[in-house]
Every structure is written in structure tokens, then in C-alpha cells.
Amino acid sequence: MKWRKSTGLVPSAPTRGPTAPGTLARVSEHGIVPTTVPEERTADAYLRLSAHLLLESERRNVHTIGVLSAVPGEGKTTAAINLVACLGRARGRRGRALLVDGDGRRRTLSRLMADGREGPRTKPMLVATSFENVDFLSAPAPESGPTIHTPSAWTETLTALAARYPQVVVDCPSVLEDPEGVVLRECVDALVVVVRAGSTTRGMLRRAIGRAADRVAGVIVNGARTSRVAPVGATL
């Protein structure tokens, strides 16, 4: 299956204003920080990518979208939040969008959005969010000792979620850090790859994508100085 790829060049966005449904956000050590008035080029980049994914979803019956990066610190969790927020705000959509914490080792989203004072929960938890038409599914507490899920386990879970949600956005583990990311990369319908300008090398990008280049629907370049955003037809 061949994909027409879309590239979003997303600069670092300043944060200002109170939390409100539908705002863009970024993840920091203090939590999910809202950006009620994001830079226009940042918002347009996410909207462009969302439009591309919505079109491909209707044309090719694609429901599960994995957001991945080569290594931590490239902004994939922030990208996953903003992507699902834009998908949830699509006018005329049917059903809600779902954000899934697929990074069971780091559990960044789960710690910020689902964990209670008692700490990590032993089972995944489905909660509503302040983002319009967006729900969140947390990752369970990590098991003791090294472990990994089988592809069939992920496929079964994602298939069940896709039966309830038209778009399921998964915050995947960084592929070069966590082997779980390699498994999950092969189980989603489409991929959005997140890189950081001046940091991610071509070699790292190739290793992160592996043999899944034909399922890469878009690329987000964080920290880019240029505001140019355009769909491209060339392969990565």
C-alpha cells in the first residue's frame, strides 16, 4: 500500500493562556502545558497533517495511527496530543478520537492524565479529556522484569479500539530505545514519524522506520526554523 506523505514543520510553540478544550499543548516536566494561542504555522502544520490523515482514513479504512520517534526527546508525545486534539475538533466527524499511551516503560501520558495519588494502576484506564471529542487510554503499571507484548496482542487490542473509535492515535515507544516500539510499529495502520531538526540523523530515521516506510503517512519536524508546510510525494 503506497501512501502520499505529508510533512509538517513544527517550530517550538510558546505557551500562554488558561487551559481550554481544543487548545494545542506541549509536555513538560510540570505536566501538559496548554497553548491557547499557538503560532499560526504550528497550528496549520497539525491541521494539515490531520486533514491528510482524515482523507486517507476514509479512502483506505485506516483507523490506528502510531506516532513514533527514534529516541526520546524528539517531541512525539506532544505531537500525539496535538494531533489527536486536531482530529477531535474536525467538524462533521462521527464519534470520538482516542489517544493511547503505548509507551508502557515511560508512561508519560498516563502519569499526567490518569494516575492517581496511589500511583500507577495495574490495568489500563479509559478517561475523558479536556480536549474536544477526545478520550484517553492509559498504560498499566509496568511489570517487574523485562517483558514485551506479542504483535497479536497489540493487533487484537487495536482492532477492538478501532471498532469504537474512528481514529486511534498511539503514543509509541521510541523505537531505538524500547523494543516494544518495534512491535507496535508493525501493528498500526499508519505511522507519523517525529524528528527534531539538527538532532535526528538520517541513519536514526531509517532505523526507526525500518520496513514500514510504505505506511508512513506523515512526518513532523520539531524545532524547524522555516514555516513552510507542504505535502510531498517523495518517499522518505
Average pLDDT per consecutive 10 residues, the chain (236 residues; last block may be shorter): 43 35 67 71 84 86 94 91 92 89 91 70 84 91 76 94 95 94 95 90 92 90 56 36
- Burial-class residue 211 by CB neighbours within 10 Å (0-12, 13-18, 19+): exposed
CA–CA dist 85, 82 (Å, integer): 5
Which pTM was predicted?
0.82
CA–CA dist 146, 134 (Å, integer): 32
Q: What is the DSSP string of 3-58?
A: ---EEEEEPPPP--S---TT-EEEEETTEEEEESS--HHHHHHHHHHHHHHHHHHH
- Give which of 135, 166, 161, 13 is closest to 78, Cα–Cα: 13
Place of cell 484506564: 125
For 183-221, how does the pLDDT look when each residue is reduced to its tens digit (9 = 90+)? 999 999 999 999 988 888 999 999 999 989 999 988 888
Calculated CA dihedral for residues 107, 140, 175, 96, nearest 10 degrees: -80
- Region 6-231: CATH code: 3.40.50.300
pLDDT value at position 19?
Answer: 43
pLDDT value at position 179?
Answer: 92
